[in-house]
Structure 1
Amino acid sequence: MNILAVAIADCMGFILLIALLVSSRVRRAKRDLELKIFTYITILTMVSCVVDFFSFYSDGKPGKLWHFINVFANTFCFMSNPVFISCWCLYEDIKLYNSKARVKRIYTKAFIPAVIMVIVAFLNIFFPIIFYIDEANVYHRLNANYAFYVVDLGYLVMSIVILICYEKRYGKAKFFPLYLMMGPIVLGTGIQAMFYGVSLIWVSLAIGLTAIYMSLQNEFSYLDTLTGLYNRAYLDYQMDNFLKDKNAVIGAIMIDVDYFKSINDTLGHSAGDEALVDVARVIILSKPDKAIATRFAGDEFIVLVNNTSHYEMQNIIRNIREELKIFNENEGRHYKLSLSLGYAIYDVAKDDRDGFFRRMDDNMYEEKKLKHS
């Protein structure tokens, strides 16, 4: 055991996570459930980096205090390990699906292995089956400690399955490259399992969390904070990607909220914000999975669709109108939402981006004129 190497690894993990917590303070102010869970996971890993160091530093030191620290530190690390990996699956699930009903249905059972491992780690203090500390205060691991690696592997597989099922149903998950998280964890855990006296689990978790957070920053910069839809910057980014394919058939729908100024003036800006959120919800419920819903500016929204057709675009508009009707009939707001819509298909031979958006905008205003005439 090289205590200096352990200290460097755990210190690096601790510093990475401190930087992560400091840089994420603005996002955490939103108090979203997914951000809370991510923060708790980060704090747990940060504390574990410190405790892990003391588990190695106290090993072999004489005295009752060092013996207590050795037992406590190793017990804590074994208890926190399944908590981390199970909570990671929970975070991933909420991040991708955003469904509390799904969480309740799945995780009342999915947490059972983690809870069992936590209980086993605690009972190990009295009935050693995972590790024991001898009279010289030296740590010895027992064969049952490999059960924790098996449980970790099970949750890692679950994490992969969650992502695969999501992408099979909804398409590729944007800004959530799971391999950035999985790579360091699998490597660090595997090395520590094979080589006694090596401490890499917690620093590998810290690296994985930091990599994921850095990727999620891209999402934060591309999201409209009010509606949760993508913003204009992301619309431009995706248009650039789509236009790289010279054979792409790109369609877009411009959506404008009718009488929005009246809602603001009559009911106040909070009602106006609520109306924009409601429009975003209507769009999300109406669009196909491959379509990208964005808040373009103010009370204007754009739905961007690649590899599309006139029939599909007209069908999306029809779905939006039907969903809007359902909303107005059932939600009981102090206002009735009304939307003007117009779409265009990008003509590679004739269009540039400005012309494409202008045609779409003109088509939307043709409908708006009919409403006001």
Structure 2
Amino acid sequence: MESPFELTAVYATNIFGIVLIGVLLVGNIWRFRERGAENAFLQLILFFAFCGCILDPIAYTADSRPGTLARVVVYGGNALLYLTDMFGTFFWLLFLSEHLNARFSIAHRYILGAALITGTSLIILNNFVPIIFDVSASNTYKRMSGYWIYMAIDYGFLIDSLFLYFMCKRKGGLFKSFPIWIYFIPLTMGTIIQSLFYGISVISSCIAISIAGVFATLQSERVYRDKLTGVFNYTYLDYLNREYAKKKKLQITGLLININGFKSLNQDYGRATGNKALVKMAKILNRSIGELGIIIRYSSDEFIAFVNTQNEMAVSMCIKRIRSGLSETNSFNSSYKLSVCICSQAYDASKTMNDFIDDITRAMIEEKNSYYSQLQLNRRAL
């Protein structure tokens, strides 16, 4: 049986994690009332971290104690701990993907699914054949050689999140920044320490510390987010203007997207329907631009998309994806149809953000005049 000092340390670290998770839940209850994949992944990360803080001291207390109940607790507790660690790191990867607006390829999804299935299957199989861990006749937990296979899955998700982040940074440049070390360093340190030294229980509490850092980052970022659509707001243009002023060479293109007939949509169907249309439009733009750039809600019915390229083919592909997304959305909506006018313009680093906005707005006015003129001609023809 472990010494009281070690058991006390296990309780202390996990109670710290539970308290920290409780504070995060209370302090961010407003966030979890908002729907969205990003918030759902955060809740799941918190849930698995909380489960880890509960299960770890229970399994550790039952270790080496006599009796059938203690044996069941050691087996079941450790099996669930493996699963909570694996799913916690998996949902961190999904959260990061959602926050950076990155998309996994089909092959990547299959690999992630295979890793989850393999990890879960190993834990189930371990009940019959000790691969990951075993429990001796004295009910003492013991790691087996397959433990490192399981750790490879956990570390694989963490390493994958690093690759995902740097891939987004390469494609999105200035637009894709997130202090990944806030989450990565505490979790990595806790995983390494507990992997090398059984008897030290720090993973769950380190996950809680990592999540606290993520919440602090998201809170500071909230000032730049549009409450309705979740994309960046008008204030973010000032931040971009300051950042662009520091760069000598920029290869950035701006897309101004204006929803046609949005005022009539509000009048005919109500503002609640208009808000839903804005949310749909933001989702279409996020999917279309992906990790290549960001979306800003510029006004009530206008969005600006900045993409990290001036390649005409890449920009045209983004516009094509936007129109394709609109067409797909309209096919499932019989009450109203969404259409947009889109203007694109390369960003001139020698000018200010206001100059860019003025230029692209003038282009949009011409585009809108042409659109409504054509609309009137079509109506007369009918």
- TM-score band, normalised by shorter chain: 0.7 to 0.9
Q: Which amino acid aligns with 1:339?
A: C
Quote the Cα distance in structure 2 between the aligned partners of 1:158 and 1:291.
21
- Measured after TM superposition, the shift of residue 241 of structure 1 is 0.7
Match of 1:130 among 129, 133, 157: 133
Return 335-344 or 111-120, whichever deviates more: 335-344
- Measured after TM superposition, the shift of residue 78 of structure 1 is 3.5
- Measured after TM superposition, the shift of residue 316 of structure 1 is 4.8
- Measured after TM superposition, the shift of residue 258 of structure 1 is 3.9
* CA RMSD across the alignment: 4.2
- Measured after TM superposition, the shift of residue 30 of structure 1 is 3.1
Match of 1:272 in 2: 274
Return 249-258 or 189-198, whichever deviates more: 249-258
Q: Which amino acid aligns with 1:331?
A: N
**1:308-366 superposed Cα distances (whole Å, 9 cap, x missing partner):** 5xx95x99589748954994698355346253748585573xx5554553444344335
Return 318-327 or 162-171, whichever deviates more: 318-327
- For the pair 1:112 / 2:114, whether they are aligned, the reply is no
- Measured after TM superposition, the shift of residue 15 of structure 1 is 1.7
Q: Normalising by structure 2, report the TM-score.
A: 0.75
Quote the Cα distance in structure 1 between the aligned partners of 2:76 and 2:320.
61
Contact 1:255 1:339 in 2 (8 A): yes
Q: % of aligned pairs identical?
A: 26
Quote the Cα distance in structure 2 between the aligned partners of 1:288 and 1:86.
21
Contact 1:94 1:100 in 2 (8 A): no
- For the pair 1:13 / 2:12, whether they are aligned, the reply is no
**1:91-135 superposed Cα distances (whole Å, 9 cap, x missing partner):** 4455544579778644442322211232144447xx697132543
Match of 1:296 in 2: 298
Quote the Cα distance in structure 2 between the aligned partners of 1:353 and 1:190.
46
Contact 1:291 1:304 in 2 (8 A): yes
**1:239-291 superposed Cα distances (whole Å, 9 cap, x missing partner):** 21111225557764544434321221123324423443454466557669644
Q: Which amino acid aligns with 1:35?
A: N
Match of 1:199 in 2: 201
Contact 1:82 1:118 in 2 (8 A): no
Residue segments in structure 1 that go unaligned for 5+ positions in a row? none
Larger RCO: Structure 1 or Structure 2 (Cα < 8 Å, ≥ 6 residues apart)? 2
Contact 2:169 2:177 in 1 (8 A): no
Change (3 A) 1:371 1:110: same
SS at structure 1 position matched to 2:298: strand
Q: Which amino acid aligns with 1:210?
A: A
Change (3 A) 1:21 1:122: farther
Return 107-116 or 251-260, whichever deviates more: 251-260
Match of 1:361 in 2: 361
Match of 1:181 in 2: 183
Match of 1:47 in 2: 51
Instruction: Give the aligned length.
Output: 365
SS at structure 2 position matched to 1:339: strand
- Measured after TM superposition, the shift of residue 143 of structure 1 is 4.6
Quote the Cα distance in structure 2 between the aligned partners of 1:263 and 1:318.
28
- For the pair 1:57 / 2:58, whether they are aligned, the reply is no
Quote the Cα distance in structure 1 between the aligned partners of 2:229 and 2:7.
50
Quote the Cα distance in structure 2 between the aligned partners of 1:282 and 1:359.
25
Quote the Cα distance in structure 1 between the aligned partners of 2:154 and 2:324.
48
Return 106-115 or 154-163, whichever deviates more: 154-163
- Measured after TM superposition, the shift of residue 49 of structure 1 is 1.0
Change (3 A) 1:226 1:102: farther
- For the pair 1:214 / 2:219, whether they are aligned, the reply is no
